[in-house]
Amino acid sequence: MTRIRELPRLVVMASGRGSNLEAILDAIDRGELRARVVAVISDRPDAQALERAARRQIEALALDYRAFPDRDAYHEALLEHLVRIAPDLIVLAGYMRLLPGRIVARFPQRIVNIHPSLLPAFPGLNPHRQALDYGVKVSGCTVHFVDEGMDTGPIIMQAAVPVLEDDTEKSLAERILRREHELYPRAIAAVLDGRVRVEGRRVRIFAPGAAGDHEQDEQKEGDSRCKSGEP
């Protein structure tokens, strides 16, 4: 009897709005991402991401950071939940805290993050503000593996987005967010399919169905340029 392979289990961690969570769920619904979001965890009980999860009957877990005596206690509880849930991949989507070494070490190359800049430029807080202040003409978004640093792990995929003359933080963030919603499900699919190989800082990605010796760059040509239709 043929056994249907179980879908890879994702845990999404988010501190706020959860639009990337929604994009991931939509990609799953469209059949573009073979996975199941088994839980959404937030450090903020009022995170909109939790509402989105509950609406879709997904376990929505509020681990209120402020309710713990200290950072260690919070991370201990978080680790316990992650071990219980046993995800194949932990997806940080607007999760605003650094994960400690012991959590990162427990899930080697199984935690990914998305950041709204072309890393290593503008890591950390307010990346859109940083990009505008610096005066770059192109920014974008980056999906990367998570290590102990702040947005420092090996880069999986990037997409470039133009910075326009009259951009504000808000308009730039919106333009980048649209690309995030396309890029993140695609990067997650590559990781789950086992099409990603980490070699030091470099992450090689194989096209679907390609053997290791026919490596192709899944990063589409358009991702490294500004999208046509936008100046």
Give residues in contact with ligand GRF (CB under 6 A): 14, 16-20, 93-94, 114-116, 177, 180
The CA distance from 45 to 167, in Å, is 32
Whichever of 132 and 206 has its CB closer to ligand GRF, that residue is 132
Q: Tell me how far, at minimum, the Cβ of 15 lies from ligand GRF, in Å.
A: 7
Query: Of 75, 81, 115, 181, which is the active-site residue?
Result: 115
Whichever of 24 and 82 has its CB closer to ligand GRF, that residue is 24
Is residue 115 part of the annotated active site? The answer reads: yes
The CA distance from 161 to 224, in Å, is 9
- The distance in angstroms from the start CA to the end CA of the chain is 55
Q: Tell me how far, at minimum, the Cβ of 151 lies from ligand GRF, in Å.
A: 9
The strand pairing partners of 9, in sequence order, are 36
Rounded to whole angstroms, the maximal C-alpha distance in the chain is 61
The CA distance from 96 to 63, in Å, is 13
Selection from 147, 139, 143 nearest residue 155 by Cα: 143
Q: Tell me how far, at minimum, the Cβ of 129 lies from ligand GRF, in Å.
A: 13
Taking CA atoms, 38 is separated from 15, 16, 25, 88, 162, in Å, by 17, 18, 11, 10, 35
Specify whether the CB–CB gap between 117 and 131 falls below 8 A: yes
Whichever of 87 and 116 has its CB closer to ligand GRF, that residue is 116
The CA distance from 54 to 58, in Å, is 5
Residues with catalytic function: 115
